[in-house]
Structure 1
Amino acid sequence: MAPASFLTLPARAPKPRSVGLTHVLDPGATSARAADLLGGGAPYVDIWKTGWGTAYVDGRVGEKLAVLADHDVASCLGGTLLEIAWAQGAAEACLAWADAAGFTHVEVSRGTVPMSLDAKHELVRRAADRFVVLTEVGAKDPHQQRSLGQWSDEAGRDRAAGAALVVAEGRQSGTVGIYDGEGSVREAVVDAVVDAVGLDGVVFEAPRAGQQAWFIRRFGPGVNLGNVALEEILSVETLRLGLRSDTAHVSVPDAITPEPVR
């Protein structure tokens, strides 16, 4: 059956694109599950991050990375695994393994183990020789809030060190980093990161539908969204295209859109 085409909707840049990125979080899906999801959703997924250390314990991760490559989806190694490897003096071994496995991107973060900014940026430079590097800014611990100056400084220095994109921390819960404990957006933090690296240079972790809608309403359908759940791939695309009430103004300018529920 041919795709539906009877509506006038916002234009979406074709892949590979540099704006309007959808970055999904994989908690350990099988290659068959990945193939099933991408059978219809591949046009809407840009970066597929294997979360935590799931890639390390998945004996068939190479098969999944091959599925991603077949669907023109970038594969990203999550930052926690690299942090642990760095803490154990095995960062180079981790990067070599990721390269051999077929990852195209790696995330460099410092939210799990104590790591100085200088050490983080040295790791970025080492990784950038072989991968597209995403760096994460913001603390995972809600009790370790950073100042606006720290957010903007780290984001800017990450880009200068070689990061292609900066990921603004929100975690899978959507209750830390750029969000408060209730999941509401900390707008001043968002503005600080955007001021530091530009809108196109940041991926906002937004695991909740209301958070995704907030960013689309604030910045438009071309905003980069991250930590999207695998089952929400099509749902996020409908938000971008104005096919849900929270963002219907995108496709119908005079639509009555409620405030996004966070």
Structure 2
Amino acid sequence: MKCFEFLLPKRTEKPRNKGLTMVLDKGLGYETAKCLMEIAGDYVDLLKFGWGTIIVHDKEIIKRKVEMYKSFDIIPYTGGTLFEIAYNNKKIDEFFKEAKDIGFEAIEISDGSTDMKEDEKLEFIKRAKKEGFYVLSEVGKKDPVVDAKISLDRRIELVNAELKAGSDKVIIEAREGGKNIGIFDKNGIAKEEEVDYLKKHIPEENIIWEAPNKDQQVYFILKLGKEVNLGNISSDDITSLETIRRGLRGDTLNKI
């Protein structure tokens, strides 16, 4: 039972297919992560081990963290950069095997920092599905200059192709900072016409909008509703985001 539960607005409960919160783990210790999930695990759906962080951490600790997250009905997964590192090193077979050995049942496939061909990426998505993984893929480039060259129509084409190949969710790139990339300008403000165009051509339940900053989270919730899928949420902001979703913070109080 929650405190003042009679004042708590309802929303979709886990397991959810919409209103997903994807949280970024940048190297939390096991006990810290467990304590955080004990108080806020109800509000986390997907947990991404950021970029190549787990390569530099003890394997047994990562295994324990993966199982711990699963115990809270959370899907932990490897970040896309880790997959790209495996791709650059021609170690894709070893990557899939290691991911399973550690206990991951989900992976992210991206091409944000590589010159991976589109057909290659789609084949990797298909293979990951055949391997039994829940697949997240990401559209966009890490370099703002390169990313800016991708037109909206091209982004839509890529997203829909990846969904057709088997991606369960497609992430719209915004990086950890959420500025000057994808749908965000240099100040981190969403380009509303681009958001409208994207959501018109892609099923909303299949998109995860990376929105690392509070103002971005408020924007998407006010525009698309409390059940919008949001990603790259800091582990410090899990409870904050949930209160924004439920209208328990001034930013959305009486607005949703």
Q: Percent identity?
A: 37
1:241 paired residue number: 246
Runs of 4+ aligned structure 1 residues displaced above 3 Å come to none
Contact 2:27–2:49 (CA under 8 A) maintained in structure 1 = yes
Q: Structure 1: any 5+ residue segments left out of the alignment?
A: 252-262
1:1-262 aligned at under 5 Å gives the runs 3-7=3-7, 9=9, 11-59=10-58, 60-129=61-130, 130-144=132-146, 145=148, 146-175=150-179, 176-250=181-255
User: Aligned partners of 2:112 and 2:37: how far apart in 1?
Assistant: 30
- SS of match in other structure, 1:6: helix
Aligned residues: 250
- SS of match in other structure, 1:140: coil
Q: 1:217 to 1:110 in 2, by over 3 A?
A: same
- TM-score, structure 1 as length reference: 0.92
Contact 2:107–2:135 (CA under 8 A) maintained in structure 1 = yes
Please report how far the alpha carbon of residue 57 of structure 1 lies from its aligned counterpart in structure 2 after TM superposition. Answer: 2.0
Q: Structure 2: any 5+ residue segments left out of the alignment?
A: none
Please report how far the alpha carbon of residue 187 of structure 1 lies from its aligned counterpart in structure 2 after TM superposition. Answer: 2.2
- SS of match in other structure, 1:100: helix
Q: 1:70 to 1:189 in 2, by over 3 A?
A: same
Contact 1:212–1:236 (CA under 8 A) maintained in structure 2 = yes
Deviations along 1:90-116, whole A, 9 cap, x unmatched?
112111111111112111110011111
Deviations along 1:144-194, whole A, 9 cap, x unmatched?
211111111101101001001010111100111121111010223323332
User: Aligned partners of 2:22 and 2:8: how far apart in 1?
Assistant: 25
Q: 1:102 to 1:95 in 2, by over 3 A?
A: same
- SS of match in other structure, 1:243: coil
Q: 1:172 to 1:153 in 2, by over 3 A?
A: same
CA RMSD of aligned residues (A): 1.3
- SS of match in other structure, 1:62: helix
Which one is further off, 188-197 or 46-55?
A: 188-197
Please report how far the alpha carbon of residue 56 of structure 1 lies from its aligned counterpart in structure 2 after TM superposition. Answer: 2.0
Please report how far the alpha carbon of residue 2 of structure 1 lies from its aligned counterpart in structure 2 after TM superposition. Answer: 5.0
Please report how far the alpha carbon of residue 5 of structure 1 lies from its aligned counterpart in structure 2 after TM superposition. Answer: 1.1
